[in-house]
Every structure is written in structure tokens, then in C-alpha cells.
Amino acid sequence: MISPELKKVILKELNLDDFDIKDETTAPEVPGWDSLNHINIILAVEEFYKVKFKSYEVLRLKNVGDLQKLVDSKTGK
């Protein structure tokens, strides 16, 4: 399940007031989530959670649920 914090970081980076983000949501389904914003979102998530992702970890992400799992693994949740 996507945490409210992760959803907030993503929506803020995309300048969206609200969007129904679920585990299975992929980048092309979210308005404005293109390749450049993908990098900005990853950097914003790293900054918010005070973590660092390796390139191969980011490349493996298939959906927002995968991003949440990666964040959880880095933060010990």
C-alpha cells in the first residue's frame, strides 16, 4: 500500500493536487510523469526519506508499489 508521504512527494513533484495512486500505478498513467520528472521524483523521494538508491534499483522499478517497497527496504519499515 502506498504511504500518504510517498503519494504527497510524488504529487508535489508533478504539481498535481490529487491523483489516485495505487501499488500497480505506472508512470505513463500519471499526468506529467515523463522521463525527466521520473528523475525529479526519485531525487525528491531520496531527499524526503534521507536514502540513496542505486541505479540498478531504480531501473528495476515497474510501478509505484515497487518504489514503496524500495523505500521501505531502505528505511527499515
In this structure, what CATH number is given to the domain that contains residue 42? Answer: 1.10.1200.10
Q: How many distinct structural domains can be found in the chain?
A: 1
Entry pTM: 0.93
What is the tens place of the pLDDT at every residue in 9-54?
999 999 999 999 999 999 999 999 999 999 999 999 999 999 999 9
Q: What is the 3-state secondary structure (H, E, C) of the chain?
A: CCCHHHHHHHHHHCCCCCCCCCCCCCHHHCCCCCHHHHHHHHHHHHHHHCCCCCHHHHHHCCCHHHHHHHHHHHHCC
Full domain range(s) for residue 66: 4-75
